[in-house]
Amino acid sequence: MDERLDTTACYRHPDRATRLRCSECGRPICVECSHDAAVGQKCPECARPEGRHRVVDARRAMAAPSFATAPVTFTIISVAVALFVLGFLSPSIDAELVNRFASANWLIADGEWWRVLTAAFLHAGLAHIFFNMYALYIFGPRLESQVGSTPFALLYAASAAGGGAASYFFGATQQVAVGASGAIFGLFGAWMYVAYRTRHTPGGRAMFNQLGVLLLINLALPLIIRNIDWRAHVGGLLAGITIAALWAQFAVGKPDAVRIRSMIAGSVFVVLMGAIIFL
């Protein structure tokens, strides 16, 4: 058995038994001393603010998300829902939105590269937008509050680009696609990486197992339901995992972590869009 799972006492509260440990220094911590970080939980000393770095308390992170704590997430949801309602009320507007902004591979090849991004705001049917926006509501706000709104927005855009790139390079020439699935799978991938890194803790292990089951279910859906663009799912997932891994390597614990995360996610976005535009 891994000795890190043995029950011990919190280093700040010797009377409190715990199995949690700081993901940075390894000291045992109780729930009260635990602070959520971009990767795992940290003790108060390792989570102490430096410069513009912001600590997110574990208890506040579980509060109901709102526009104040996750403005990018709720803006994306609002725009996507507004476009869906507009198209639902007016079939002619819906057709125009699809014609101008859906991801159409032959048009992307002709230079309309922006379609890989605008397609993420369009959805085909009530069930489609409900499940995508519900997933964004579940995975988005907490991640945004932990890493910062700008890095989160760039992660979302890079994941949409990753999904669009996979669909463009490996899909049929005449393929037309809409939906935020690629971007949302990027958020899913980021959380999967966090769960993998913290799998030695009870909370991290539980999250990793739960996300693993959800991942298998979602990857299997294209085998059951027609017209699901599994390429976009895989592309977005890989983009999210890549960005989260680079964040963990270069940004965690740095006083300018938000800027570093923004630069990393922005660079991945530029590389993916550059591949679509120039290759």
User: What's the domain count of the chain?
Assistant: 2
* Active site amino acids: 181, 233
Q: Give the pLDDT of residue 37.
A: 66
pLDDT at 234: 94
Give the pLDDT band of residue 2 (cuts 50, 70, 90): very low
Alpha helices in the chain (DSSP H): 58-61, 71-89, 91-101, 105-109, 115-118, 126-147, 149-170, 181-197, 202-224, 230-250, 257-278
Q: What is the pTM of this model?
A: 0.77
Asked if residue 56 and residue 21 are part of one domain, the reply reads: yes
Is the domain of 51 the same as that of 113? no
pLDDT per position as a tens digit, 114-168: 999 999 999 999 999 999 999 999 999 999 999 999 999 999 999 999 999 999 9
Contact status, residue 159 vs residue 240, Cβ threshold 8 Å: yes
Tell me which of 17, 38, 63 is where a domain ends.
63
Q: 63, 84, 103 — which closes off a domain?
A: 63
Res 130: pLDDT: 94
Average pLDDT of the chain?
Answer: 86
Tell me, what's the pLDDT at 6?
A: 47
Domain that holds residue 6: 1-63
Statement to judge: residues 26 and 87 lie in one domain: no
Given 37, 63, 89, the domain boundary residue is: 63
Say whether both 168 and 44 belong to one domain: no
Q: Residues 32, 105: one domain?
A: no
User: What share of the chain has pLDDT > 70, as a percent?
Assistant: 87
